[in-house]
Every structure is written in structure tokens, then in C-alpha cells.
Amino acid sequence: MTAPRLPGHPHLAYRDGRLWLEAVALDTLAERFGTPLFVYSKAAMLEALSAYQRGLEGRDGLICYAMKANSTLAVLQLFARAGCGFDIVSGGELQRALAAGADPAKIIFSGVGKTRAEMNAALDAGIGCFNVESEAELEVLSAVALARGQRAPVSLRVNPNVDAKTHPYISTGLKSNKFGIAHERAVRVYRHAAGLPGLRVIGIDCHIGSQITDSTPYLDALERVLDLVDAIEAEGLRLEHLDFGGGLGIDYHGETPPAADALWRLLLERLDARGYGNRRLLVEPGRSLVGNAGVCLTEVLYLKPGDEKNFCIVDAAMNDLPRPAMYEAYHEIVPLRPGAARSDAPLWDVVGPVCESGDWLGRDRALDPAVGDRLAVLSAGAYCMSMASNYNTRPRAAEVLVDGAAVHLIRQRERLPDLWKHEMLLD
């Protein structure tokens, strides 16, 4: 078959009839480490980061990687060494970031349900800021900090009611979403926060969704946030930083999101025009740093032609790649060794072995597979391994980082006994 397009993957290419990531042929990794297997490009991650760095060049800016996208320690270490901070949403993510070498002062703690134990752990670590998402959380955080003789640094996450035009499960900026404080109540809540003895208000935060492919929602949200900053500072409270969240999309299937540096040029023009360009600026990218840096390799187990559907059954499944089952998400699926071109290649649903009808990786794909062939599921660097599970008692996959011709195993494949080592039989 003809080598298919490889969206958004400058380091992924067919050469000599094989699919290569950087200077490594992917079929050699499948042979060496088995499948399913996640493989990431170091160069792709650093190039994606460099677009944000260019966009904020010359400004007082901090890029906080939203580690929920991919929290593997070596990935976090890569970004920490590149100067990034981290956007976390749990106590577990806090400990992961610290284990990977994160600077605690560059950690931002987001999320709607922080526990007292998580707050204490974050204060112990000396994180940079809590993004607070409700009035009730303000009260609890103030009490926790006051009991320690501290004042917790806080930013309020404001919900600007801007529609990012994404899947409803990954929209976060509308009134109907659980996140943030309503725009119309924000000034009153800031006034209340400033009066709480255990808090030190230092910023404002806004995050409107994920997989955003248009600049307009960002610009709309920016204007609404700056209107709030005007009103808040008219109350005599100065905000040290402005946090614009993340959410920038990637090319899964022909989407054309703006480049990060181009988006920030637009945002900075508005910030400068309104007199806020000299403030500390935070951004929390996740998917756009890692999504197109990763692929998942899988092997064809069986072919099951049918009257209505042809099924290509592979060894990767919804527990490895949850996005199609959760969001009906599209991932390009390509062979590691494409055969001769066929204009009449049949359509196949690529499915896994898990005992669920929702266990599919791609529908109606023009492929010419044979049992034993290996396929690559593209754009698998974000929200795949970090959301993977052991459903059907399936061990999680191994992970590999490619750096030029160098290959680093960064997560061993789980063994079956690992899956029940914390369980106890009855007496």
C-alpha cells in the first residue's frame, strides 16, 4: 500500500520501506521490546517546547507542563531539565514531579478537589501557587495554611464562559463545566480571598479546554480575563501573574492549530495594548508538547472479515489507548512496513482483545494487513499511557524514548504478578 501521510510528525518518516522515528527503525523496537509499545521522540518534544519558548522570549514567562498528558518520569525529567515548571492536579503528581527533579517553586497545583493532605504536602514542598477553583476551597486552604503558620500563595481559576469548540468532555471554560469560579462572581471572590488570613493572592488563572485549534477562543478569553484584572485591581489588589492555561491542539486528522509562538504573538499584542505585557505570564501546555511525539506499536493477531465489517484484531486495546473509547477520538494508524500500493485496499475496524464493544482504535481504515504485521498508532504521546489501565488484567505497556539513534527504555512492561501484589486473599 502507499505510505500514508504522517500528520504533525517531523521526526517520523518512511525510508527504505520501513517507518523510522528519528534515527531508529520502529520495527526493530517492536522486535526488541515487544508490543504494545509506546515510543517517544525526544527531539519532537523539545521542538514543541521551543515554540512556546520563542513565543515568550524576552518576557517574564514560565511554561508549566501539564503533566496529566503524560506523567512518565523520564518525560517529566526532560522538561524539568529544559527549565519547565509543572501544572499538577493531585498529590501523586506532586510527588512524581519532585521525583523527576522539578523545582517546587515552579509547580502550580490545579484541580477542583484538593484534599487537606494534598494541601499540606504542597505547602511542605514549597510550591509556587495553588490554582483555587471554589470559595469552599479557599476557606479550607486558608485554614490549613494558618494552622502551619503560613500563607498559601493562590491564584483563582476564573471560568470566562468562552466556548472553545472542542469535545464536551474536554471543554472546561463554560458555565456548565465543573471548573473555576464564575466570571460574574470573580471580583467578589477575590475580595473575600484577600481577607482570608492564611492566603496570599498572587494571580489569576484561566483554562478553557483542550484540543483547541483556533486562536479566537484564546483571544476572547484573554479579553474577559483582562476585564476582570482591571476590576480586581480597582479594588486595590495587584495581581503578580496572569496564567492562561493550556489546551492548544495538535494535528490528529488534518486539524490546523496555530503554532504556539504565533498564538503568543497575538496574545502579547493584546496584553501590551492593555498595559499588562510586563506581568509574569504563565502557560500550561500538555498535549501540544507530547501528543505528536509518541506512537504506539501493535501487532496484528487475527483478521476477521465480515458481511458488514472487517475486523483487524491487534494486541493493543482500550486499556492502552483509551481516547477512542472515551472521546471517539481519531488516531492515524499506519503500517511499519507498507506494502505495494493498492487502490482497492479494504476498510478495516482496528480493534483490541478487551471484552468491550467500545474497544476500538480506529474505524473504517484503508489497510492491507496480514497476521503478524505491525502497525503504529500515531499521536499517542498524550492521554494514552497516563490514562492506561489494567482492565481485563492486562499489564501496561513498556515505554521507550528515542534520542537520535539512541534508545532508552523508560518504563518496563508490567509483569502479571505486579498487578495483584497489593491484594490479599481471604484467610
The H or E element containing residue 44 is helix 42-55
Give the whole-angstrom CA distance, residue 412 versus residue 418.
11
Single out the catalytic residue among 64, 129, 206, 355.
Answer: 355
Q: Report residue 139 CA to chain centroid gap.
A: 30
Give the whole-angstrom CA distance, residue 246 versus residue 48.
13
Annotated binding site for pyridoxal 5'-phosphate: 247, 284-287, 383
The H or E element containing residue 372 is none
Which ranges of the chain have pLDDT less than 70?
A: 1-5, 163-179, 340-343
Pairing between strand 280-283 and 241-243?
parallel
224-227: list long-range contacts, CB under 8 Å, 24+ apart: 224/160, 224/161, 224/162, 224/183, 225/158, 225/160, 226/270, 226/271, 226/274, 226/276
Nearest to 213 by CA among 255, 173, 151, 158: 255
The pLDDT of residue 159: 87
Q: Is 275 left (phi over 0), alpha (psi -120 to 50) or beta?
A: left
Nearest to 82 by CA among 111, 47, 113: 47
**Alpha-carbon radius of gyration of the chain:** 23
Per-residue pLDDT tens over the stretch 368-394: 999 999 999 999 999 999 999 999 999
Pairing between strand 374-377 and 333-335?
antiparallel
10 Å CB burial of residue 403 (0-12, 13-18, 19+) is middle
Residue 277, helix vs strand vs coil? coil
Written as nine digits, the cell of 229 is: 484584572
The pLDDT of residue 191: 96
Residue 348, helix vs strand vs coil? strand
10 Å CB burial of residue 394 (0-12, 13-18, 19+) is buried
Q: Is 384 tagged catalytic?
A: no
The pLDDT of residue 4: 63
The pLDDT of residue 208: 86
Annotated binding site: 247, 284-287, 323, 327, 356, 383
Domains and CATH numbers, the chain: 12-41+291-419 (2.40.37.10), 110-285 (3.20.20.10)
DSSP of 48-116, one letter per residue? HHHHHHHHTTTS-EEEEEEGGG---HHHHHHHHHTT-EEEE-SHHHHHHHHHTT--GGGEEE--S---H
Give the whole-angstrom CA distance, residue 146 versus residue 152.
9
Q: Which residue has the cell 478495516?
A: 348
Annotated binding site for substrate: 287, 323, 327, 356, 383
